[in-house]
Structure 1
Amino acid sequence: MMPSSSCKQRYIYADNAATTPLSAAARTAMEPFFTDIYANPSGIHRLAKRAADKLSQLREQLAACIQARPRELYITSGGSESNNWILRSAAEQVWQQHGRTAQPVIITSAIEHHSVLHCCTALEQQGVVVEYLPVDQQGFISVTDLDNALKHHKHHVALVSLMLANNEVGSIEPIAELAACAHAHGVRIHTDAVQALGHIPVDVTQLGVDALSFSAHKFHGPCGIGGLYVRSDMPMLPLIAGGAQEYGMRAGTENLAGMAGMTAALVEVCKELGVRSNHVSVARDALIQAVLNADEQTQLSGPRPGAHRLPSLASFICTDVDAELLVVMLDQAGIAAATGSACASGSTEPSHVICALGYTDARQNRGSLRLSLSDDISDEDTAYLCEHVPAVIKRCRLLSGSTL
């Protein structure tokens, strides 16, 4: 819980899918890199060597959290960069092998994060063919649909890119099965695990993926740093020229402080993952039940609570409600929430995820609400949410008639 500016009103931050607060462990781990371990790891003097040793240690610890080899891990500025890098590299390799007249094919889904979708749009303008797989009403991608798409395209499929967990409705995709399908066709697969890592178990070996993106600020690490796992036998093209950093693939002096914070945060949440996910899922289930019991015109979006839904995420379709007005009213009631994707704030268009789930009626798709809970939420905060969220939804519906 975050204190309000007046220190009187309870204020609950329920927008953790957008970003999480920095953990004490991450902050403590970062401090030495602002004062003592400040040298450039690329140097040859003793201070540089000390920094290089720390960089190596951090990479080993970070890689171990996802059961990867340290050499398979590239440090980036976050999930959006990682997603763009892998998509653009895959398409470019087809062109380099077959010429610029070739049409690389990328297979993705209709509910991906904007960093994937917008990159795909840009690649389409360069001649890439992109197929967007549909999802069912709970937000799940079908292995059969992927198999059919791979059979249809056959040649020059550069990459399959499908998210591990959806940031708006919380659906956890069957990535291991989708990866097996892609590999049966001889095609590489990448997963955007930005919403998953730190919230559910993520093991690159068990998932069977060739590449995986993540971002530190989704699991109590600092903003502006993340990573891209690339399996050792998967070819990649450099992203930034200029130096030998990241094995010559991404030039630029390393962000050691950010990496220390990211590693400390991930190590901590992975050690406590079971306890954290169990705790927050109980709060999520109570909130979902309270909202659905109190308002017949509101329904759950995405999967039913259980093994295939992110433990912290409650999302709803509030019929005849203006979601932006709802978020403002919740803020006034002491609750930070979101509508649609954080990356689409300010847009008056309905969420692409909600539309992909089949909510095409404006009375529904403009009323999407997402509450993403903290994994240390208190019982008092849960009770507050259960009482006030349904009440605010009902009040907002009365005021939404003129805005819809």
Structure 2
Amino acid sequence: MTNASLLTPLLGDQSPLDLRSRALVTDLFEREQQLMAALPTDDPLDPKRRRRVDFTLPEILEQPEVIRTTLQRERENIAAAAQNIAAAGIRRIFMTGCGDSLAVMVAVRSLFEELLGIPCEPVQALDMAYYYHHTLGPDTLMITLSSSGTTTRTVEAMMIAKAKGAHTLALSNTPGSALMAESDHRLTVHAQRKGWPTQASTAAIALLCQLALDIAKAKGSNGERVEALQAALDAIPAQIAEVIASHEAVIAAIAEREAARSVYLYAAGGPSFAAAMFGSAKVKECSPDHGISIPLEEFHHYNSQKAGDPLFLIAPEGPSVPRARDTAQEGRRWGGQIYSLVTGDETRLDDCSDVVLRLPAVPEVLSALVYTIPVQLFAYHVAMAKFRAAESVHAA
């Protein structure tokens, strides 16, 4: 029999978890192993991967309505959680998840810190559970996200937070899941995940943005700013629909041009780095190739882009735009292709980009909701181009 402590240190002798919690974690590990065995492969014609890619485009297109529906259905739950959190004396927030769930937390960090005036730190769930839990306590809020509600490391992070007396709030597409059942507060993401995750992530971002706004309202702080951001959040679904309608054909053409590549790069700063994380994740999920997200400054340390590499440079209006221009110039000098996502009539990246996609104006703290859409569409279209190429070779 395998020693339980070899699965996770939280099952070892020094674990702060009680016996019931340890049993739950053990069960989640066993389920996780079964799910991993069923994942698609990198075979260019893998039918399981193709099936999920086929589901992905409809789920991308549904995002405006999914965001509206999620916010409407969770309206009372968001307000109730916000009231409790506002009254709890929270002095620090940790935000944790894995993969897209962690990117969601990166997307909302800046908004939470601006409105609440306290440190809000996104941490990968394994690191949170095993390394960075020592300062958790009654003045801490742990926000967790897992679409299935059974991601083992995320549940572990939430449970160690509870064991240390922290407040917990869970988001999941799956009511009644382990994450939701064990948390103090819970918000349901009313989204599908038959395809590779898209709407599940943007709807979760919207939920957390509304939560931050409601906590600020409950505290009576930043009144005019909260009002402006509420109007901007309410406008996001229509802006997403506009981006899809205006840019999908151009993005599909870029995908055809870049379909033979094996590496795709994404760079951004601040909250828009979440969009870069989503972009790299979608390419890795939809295709058998590499997607790499690079923080904007780290791109320059050192020669991150090689000749021929496509770079999606995500630069909404904000303080990162000048450095984004430097990045585009360097990428060009290194021989790469530059696809820039900018706000409206922004022109500073025009002369050093192969294509500039002009997106609607949105407050930078909400930018990931809109700037994620083009990279989702690219991942779908480049995957389909790769499937067509593989089918052509197979037929020959």
TM over 0.5: no
TM-score range, shorter-chain basis?
0.3 to 0.5
Q: Report the structure, 1 or 2, having the larger helix content.
A: 2
**Normalising by the residue count of structure 1, what TM-score does the alignment of the two structures yield?**
0.34
TM-score by length of 2: 0.34
